[in-house]
Structure 1
Amino acid sequence: MATHYAQGTLIWVKHEEEVWAQAEIVTSNDKEIIIKTVEDPNGRIVLGPSEPLFLRTSDVFTSEGLSVLDDLTQLTHLHEPAVLSSLQNRFDIDKIYTFTGPILIALNPFKMIPGLYDEEVLTSFISTKPSPKPHVFNTANSSYRGICDRRKSQTVLISGESGAGKTETTKHVMKFLASAGAEDGKVTSVEKQVLESNPLLEAFGNARTLRNDNSSRFGKFIELQFKPQTGSATQVLQPGMTGESLRLCGARIRHYLLEKVRVCEQQ
């Protein structure tokens, strides 16, 4: 049985170039659905009753522009076109991080965004409890406070297709964890060595590909080791943290996907 839509219903409809386009129902019956798109309000498109349509909400504008949500779970309609549209709207204003529940989605901007990873930003996340603000430092902060408060190992899984920005995200997570437990914000030689291992790994394990000038050609499991700040004159407690701050004392890196049998041809 065909679904009947009321006149003026806001929908998403398939689009050849944009994947999904904003549209509105003009009329609907058992045999056909007539719509008009936002980009061509005077035109009319006739669709079959079985065409995939998804409901949408009208855009909300504030004094700062188009209102965008920090968490996709807050969307009224949680489906593919709504998710893609929300991510696109945030990306257009250089908001590359978005939560979907406990998961942080990162879009590679392929450019430098001023102020996104400044020392002041890093320090502000260290000195506060994890917040609803989507940022890689916020996710790293949750992990750091987990090992300090509960004394249990934490895992940050960074995944994505080639060129998604996994390597850079890993660097930011490691930088935060190295700085979080540092007394007076001073990074020691051990912490510095851990952070400086990245260029060494990239020199031997990265290569230029069609989609990425610095693509990791291997997988890696990085284990960061922390210990209590014994011998310190003062016990470092961050706001909202119940346990003592821990300091980075070492790391272990395991590599994967470098087996010779995987080499078939040069790209």
Structure 2
Amino acid sequence: MPMPPPPPRAWAWCRDDVDGYLPVKVSKQNTTSATVQLPSGETKIVPSSDILDPIQHPENLEILQDDLVQMDDVNNMSVVDNLRRRIAAEKIYTSVGDILIALNPYKQLPLYTPTVIDDFIKRDPVDLYPHVFGVAMGAFRNMIAERANQSILISGESGAGKTEATKQCLHLLSEVARGEGGEMEMTGIEEKILMANPVLEAFGNAKTVRNDNSSRFGKYMQVHFNQKCVIVGCSTTNYLLEKSRVVSPASGERNFHVM
């Protein structure tokens, strides 16, 4: 059953070609068009069909919610708007309970400094802000508490930042589970793993329309710990290679870097 149109001067969600959805204040609406005020203060006329559900709690539009589960109104519009405002504030991580959403900012941000690492190692991630370090630290602490294997699943579309997220998880683990002396003190385990990455990428990465170095295969990494919870090695298994690319790359794309 379609939602009734919002009353005049009420807040509602409006479709937007750039941002997906925007909160607007509707000042006038008929069957074909509506006059709305955008968050920027600009007034414009939009099709009535672009006006969606009323906003039940407009006072929350200024809140950057760390955890989407805690939102008063959870729907497509409110989730997209919260993520849009968070990335604009350079907060690229957002929680959904135990799940972490990461948005690629396509620029360098001071998110992985020694100070940030130290915070997540010494403090409970629950008391901190959403971060990939919190996911890695949570898995490490659960491994110690439960004496059981833990898994971190990283997925997303091409260019989303999966490789970077994997690198940062390994970075945190290498800092918190470093051995006493030896070569491990000189070279982090994530560096050793990443040294093998160019070889794997050469045979499994390709240029796509959206990403010049897109992974066309999956990687399953097992980080091995000893009884003292110190990293002693890592094994990598590749799978799901996009073999169809060998014989029929799409228009504007390329085959694997090395054939």
TM-score (norm 1): 0.78
CA contact (8 A) 1:98 1:134 kept: yes
Q: Over residues 150-190 of structure 1, what are the superposed CA-to-partner deviations in whole Å (9 max), with x where a residue is unaligned?
A: 10111100000000000010010011112112257997169
Which residue pairs with 2:52 in the alignment? 53
What CA distance in whole angstroms lies between the structure 2 residues aligned with 1:76 and 1:35?
Answer: 27
Question: Would the alpha carbon gap of residues 34 and 179 (structure 1) be closer, same or farther in structure 2, given more than 3 Å must change?
Answer: same
SS in 1 for 2:222: strand
What CA distance in whole angstroms lies between the structure 2 residues aligned with 1:106 and 1:258?
Answer: 24
Question: Would the alpha carbon gap of residues 93 and 5 (structure 1) be closer, same or farther in structure 2, given more than 3 Å must change?
Answer: closer
Q: Which of these residues, 148, 156, 159, is aligned with residue 152 of structure 1?
A: 148
Is 1:172 aligned to 2:165, yes or no?
no
SS in 2 for 1:137: helix
Q: Which of these residues, 80, 83, 104, is aligned with residue 108 of structure 1?
A: 104
Question: Would the alpha carbon gap of residues 149 and 52 (structure 1) be closer, same or farther in structure 2, given more than 3 Å must change?
Answer: same
What CA distance in whole angstroms lies between the structure 2 residues aligned with 1:128 and 1:107?
Answer: 24
CA contact (8 A) 2:224 2:231 kept: yes
Which residue pairs with 1:79 in the alignment? 75
Q: Number of aligned pairs?
A: 243
Structure 2 unaligned blocks of 5 or more: 254-259
What CA distance in whole angstroms lies between the structure 2 residues aligned with 1:70 and 1:174?
Answer: 24
Bigger fraction of residues in helix: 2
CA contact (8 A) 2:216 2:242 kept: no
Cα RMSD over matched residues? Answer: 3.0
TM-score (norm 2): 0.80
| Residue 119 of structure 1, CA deviation | 1.6
Which residue pairs with 1:14 in the alignment? 15
What CA distance in whole angstroms lies between the structure 2 residues aligned with 1:259 and 1:128?
Answer: 41
Within 5 Å, which residues of 2 pair with 1:1-267? 3=4, 5-26=6-27, 34-38=34-38, 42-45=43-46, 47=48, 53-56=52-55, 57-58=57-58, 67-114=63-110, 116-131=111-126, 132-182=128-178, 188=184, 192-193=188-189, 195-205=191-201, 206-229=205-228, 246-258=229-241, 260=243, 263-266=246-249, 267=253
CA contact (8 A) 2:217 2:242 kept: no
Seq. identity, %? 32
Question: Would the alpha carbon gap of residues 68 and 259 (structure 1) be closer, same or farther in structure 2, given more than 3 Å must change?
Answer: closer
Question: Would the alpha carbon gap of residues 189 and 261 (structure 1) be closer, same or farther in structure 2, given more than 3 Å must change?
Answer: farther
Q: Over residues 24-74 of structure 1, what are the superposed CA-to-partner deviations in whole Å (9 max), with x where a residue is unaligned?
A: 233678x678442325765555626xx66123343669xxxx541111122
What CA distance in whole angstroms lies between the structure 2 residues aligned with 1:207 and 1:45?
Answer: 42
SS in 2 for 1:53: strand
CA contact (8 A) 1:190 1:248 kept: no
Which residue pairs with 1:235 in the alignment? none
SS in 1 for 2:108: coil
What CA distance in whole angstroms lies between the structure 1 residues aligned with 2:174 and 2:96?
Answer: 26
Question: Would the alpha carbon gap of residues 130 and 260 (structure 1) be closer, same or farther in structure 2, given more than 3 Å must change?
Answer: same
SS in 2 for 1:228: coil
What CA distance in whole angstroms lies between the structure 1 residues aligned with 2:188 and 2:234?
Answer: 11
CA contact (8 A) 2:218 2:240 kept: yes
Question: Would the alpha carbon gap of residues 7 and 197 (structure 1) be closer, same or farther in structure 2, given more than 3 Å must change?
Answer: same
1:106 partner amino acid = A
When structure 1 is superposed on structure 2, of 184-193 and 172-181 the one drifting more is 184-193
What CA distance in whole angstroms lies between the structure 2 residues aligned with 1:102 and 1:255?
Answer: 26
SS in 2 for 1:139: helix
